[in-house]
Amino acid sequence: MELIGGLFVLIFGLFGFILFIYVIIDILRHEFTGYNKIIWIIVLLCLPVLGAILYLIFGRGQRVK
């Protein structure tokens, strides 16, 4: 039973890390108005997984097209 729990934590941690890296790259590659880029990076560094999810929901619409 502990093996299943450990495997779940490993998969969730790996998914969170990949999501974090993807969002950091996405933020750095695009332009934002004002200080939005810095704010999103700070949010992402303080709350890695939750910040990444919030960025995907709200932040992508703030990019300059």
pLDDT, one tens digit per residue, over 20-29 is 999 999 999 9
Residue 46 confidence (pLDDT): 97
Residue 15: exposure state from Cβ atoms within 10 A (0-12, 13-18, ≥19): exposed
Sign of the C-alpha dihedral computed for residues 26, 60, 65 and 27 taken in this order: negative
Residue 1 confidence (pLDDT): 67
How many Å apart are CA 63 and CA 65, to the nearest integer? 6
Using a cut of 0.75, tell me whether the model's pTM lies above it: yes
Residues 35-51: b if buried by 16+ CB within 10 A, e if exposed = eebeebbebbeeebbeb
Q: What is the pLDDT of residues 1-56, one digit of tens each?
A: 688 889 999 999 999 999 999 999 999 999 999 999 999 999 999 999 999 999 99
65 pLDDT band, cuts 50/70/90, is confident
